[in-house]
Amino acid sequence: MGRPRRSSVQTAVEKEEIPEEVTKKRGRAVEKVEESGEKDDQIVERPPSKRGKKSELPLAKKLKLEFRHSRGYGHVLTVGQGDTGQLGLGEDIMEKTRCGLVSGIVDAVDLAAGGMHTAVLDSEGRVWTFGCNDEGSLGRLVDEEGECFKPEKVELPGKIVQISSGDSHTAALSETGQVFIWGTFRDSSGPIGLAEPMSIQKLPVQVMAGEDVVRISSGSDHLVLLTSEGELYSMGNGEQGQLGRVAEMFAHRGGRRGLDFLLNPGQIKVKPSLGRCFSQVWAGSYNTVALTNTGQVVVMGLNNYSQMGVVGSLTFFMPELSSDLSKEKWDCVAMGQHHTLGLASGKVVALGRSEYGMLGLGDGTGDAAIPTSVPGISGPCCEVACGSTVSYAVTETGDCFAWGMGTNGQLGTGNEEDLWSATKVGGKQLEGRIVIAVSSGGQHTVLIAKDK
């Protein structure tokens, strides 16, 4: 298979044409972009597509959203490949097979590993980024390449309480329900833009202005947003059906409807029999999984290895009921390229493709079409995470277990061997510390560990 692909008040926006050198990198053909004509200092607010009546924004309500978990804060540790600075360990460290300590960030509470970049949230609600910035995923201007190899703050209004990252984009949710994004989405032909077609956003831009958003989640090249009213919106690449609202005939660059159809947040709807609103949502590489108010789990996106818990269908362009996933009350769901992890009542299950051991079901085991318990994890868990071809689980006592493809060293074992069973991550930087959060990208993994 080889190395996986890169797998998230008002703000001024810098717009940039996608340069010729970007259109050529990694051999992807990309159309030449055109300038949108908007000025660099223009304030951009992107209302949801169905709500044109909200041209005058109401006063921001103080929702006082909280951080996504209450396990405290700690140090940032990184492991895996870091040739574009995504490890945050400086220009001299291009890879780590044991966790390394990132300096410069105090009291980290959350993190999001993108394809080749990293975002970290601290206890003050500030966002820090490092890694590849050729498509704006850091959300800050970088004068020299060396500035990508160390954490620096992203200028955002107010306190941020949640972050997410994809291949080349990052998103942030404030305590007042405002959403800010930067970078670009990509499809099979190259960059498609973010808030505007074919325009890289190098600085944060607000989307869904006028709506109270309570949760965000990023796939590789799409973003889903859940509002306080239980409405679910999606934006970005829809080629694998992950947007849950775009028919196959419009999936590639919006078809005759154009890219605006994909990049304007559009509402995902389900049949009334499945529920009238949503209570939770998770995005993965090419998938979206959502929980309705009636407790039903609906899935959207790629299902070529039955990773969505539905047998016999390759792709879902519209929400589809997953009877198998609906049997559990999920605390967390994470998705890689072709596999899924679920966490319910402290128990970890896996389904989908088994190659490289990413299901953690034992050496030589085959694919799993239904949720299957992952053995070898000591104690109930509080979090699961997936990279492209790797898996992680964090126990309530602070141990982190890893399994899957070892080629990039991101399992933290000190070598590059694949792991077919859950194995506890160790190393000097974890001595005397407990893990409280983990996130994995295309070739690197990030953890937060606090002192005992």
Domain extent for 370: 15-28+42-50+59-451
Question: Does the residue 6 lie in any domain?
Answer: no
Give the pLDDT score at 312.
83
Question: Does the residue 298 lie in any domain?
Answer: yes
pLDDT below 50 — which residues of the chain?
A: 1-5, 7-46, 48-57
pLDDT, one tens digit per residue, over 80-101 is 999 999 999 999 999 999 999 9
- The type of residue at 123 is S
Give the pLDDT score at 39.
37
pTM of this prediction?
A: 0.88
Question: Does the residue 442 lie in any domain?
Answer: yes
Question: Does the residue 2 lie in any domain?
Answer: no
User: CA–CA distance from 36 to each of 19, 24, 100, 185 (Å)?
Assistant: 14, 22, 42, 17
Question: Does the residue 377 lie in any domain?
Answer: yes
pLDDT, one tens digit per residue, over 127-183 is 999 999 999 999 999 998 889 999 999 999 999 999 999 999 999 999 999 999 999
Question: Does the residue 8 lie in any domain?
Answer: no
Q: How far is residue 204's CA from residue 41's CA, in Å, rounded to a whole number?
A: 12
Give the pLDDT score at 62.
63
Question: Does the residue 34 lie in any domain?
Answer: no
- The type of residue at 196 is E
Q: Residue 155 maps to which CATH number?
A: 2.130.10.30
Give the pLDDT score at 265.
98
Give the pLDDT score at 127.
98
How many structural domains are present in the chain? 1
Question: Does the residue 37 lie in any domain?
Answer: no
